Amino acid sequence: MTDRIHVGGNLNSLMAQYPEIGTRVRLLAEHLAELEQLNSSAGGHGDEIAETYQSNVVEPGSRTHEHLNKLIALVTQQAGDGGQGALKLFDAAEQDAGEKAKGWLPD
């Protein structure tokens, strides 16, 4: 195990990108919903071939997209939240170390 933890200077800027990633995940969900709507309407309705297409292609694909998008959103949120928590801990540790170091200085 390491004796030292190093926090790169760009960690704050990296963590600041998570809201943008969340926005892009939401846009992805919107585009997938559009695609699924187009795919569903292109497959037709009301006959055996259309129903087979809907049940074997459209519905499974829609579920897969929905689950994948939810997973990406969850992981992104957790990484962002965890990163923010880590930043707070690192900042507090740096302040605490600075205060303790001041106590070692000669008067």
Residues 5, 3, 94: CA angle, nearest 5 degrees: 40
Task: Give the pLDDT confidence of 61-82 residue by residue, as tens digits.
Answer: 888 888 888 888 888 888 888 8
Whether the pTM exceeds 0.75: the reply is no
Residue 72 is predicted with a pLDDT of: 86
Contact 37, 105 (CB under 8 A): no
Average pLDDT, stretch 89-100?
A: 85
Task: Give the pLDDT confidence of 12-48 residue by residue, as tens digits.
Answer: 777 778 788 888 888 888 888 888 888 888 888 888 9
